[in-house]
Amino acid sequence: MRSRRSYLFFAIMGLLFLAIAVAGFGPSFLFPLLGGNFDFPPAIFVHAVIMFGWLGLFITQAMLARGGPSRWHKYLGTASLILFLLIMASGVTLSIANFLEDLPQPVEARLDSIFFLQLWTFVLIPLFYWLGYRERRRSPEKHMRYMLLLTFFLIEAAASRITFLPGLADDATFIYAQYLYLDAMLIPLFIYDWKQLGRISPATFIGCGILFFYQFTAMVMWDNEQWLKLADALDNWLSAYWPI
């Protein structure tokens, strides 16, 4: 019974992440799409399908795991590797393409700061996937926590677009408000750990420690003059080699 309740918690968190994704990308993508507006670059469609596919997979896996090991859970776990590789390919392509786009200031500087965050995704997504993958048999509870934190990390872009929340529409407070709201969603995980285990899971400690370190560097480097100069140099270098 405890195991089933455990996986139900992760499914509910997955639904929360899905709601954040809809709230973030609804006004600019989902709602126009439902209204018949298909005037979006193909790469955006592909990326959206991949990212929402991951959210759906996470929720489905959590629900399947409630019944114990199953053939479908194993098959979908294998499929997650393909989806992970697609996330990396799509994320790298869109991130660099947006970074190299020639835009006026201060939009250019904003994209340069965002690119610093995106560089972290090239490290953290594979890291969390690997941490979760290696625990899939020896510790399913740790496995689900790492996958939860990976999915949490993936919805950051959506959360940053919910600009009706105080602080997110203001460039001066955006980066701090974003992480304040995001990290509030991790509180249930700490409460759940304490109630279920009587302590905080090592996976929660390690995973959140990695995320908090990333967030600290993001806040330090946001609109940082030295980073913006380096980004300009990187822009010039990549423009000479990037094929898209």
Any idea how long the chain is? Answer: 244
**Number of Cβ atoms within 10 Å of the Cβ of 46:** 15
Integer Cα distance of 222 and 225 in angstroms: 9
Give the tokens for residue 66. 């409630």
Q: What pLDDT is recorded for position 1? A: 40
Q: What pLDDT is recorded for position 69? A: 61
Q: What pLDDT is recorded for position 175? A: 94
Q: What pLDDT is recorded for position 5? A: 61
**Number of Cβ atoms within 10 Å of the Cβ of 235:** 19
In the three-class reduction of DSSP (H, G, I as helix; E, B as strand; rest coil), residue 156 is classed as helix
Ranges in the chain, pLDDT < 50: 1-2
Q: Identity (one letter) of the amino acid at 31?
A: F
Q: What pLDDT is recorded for position 6? A: 66
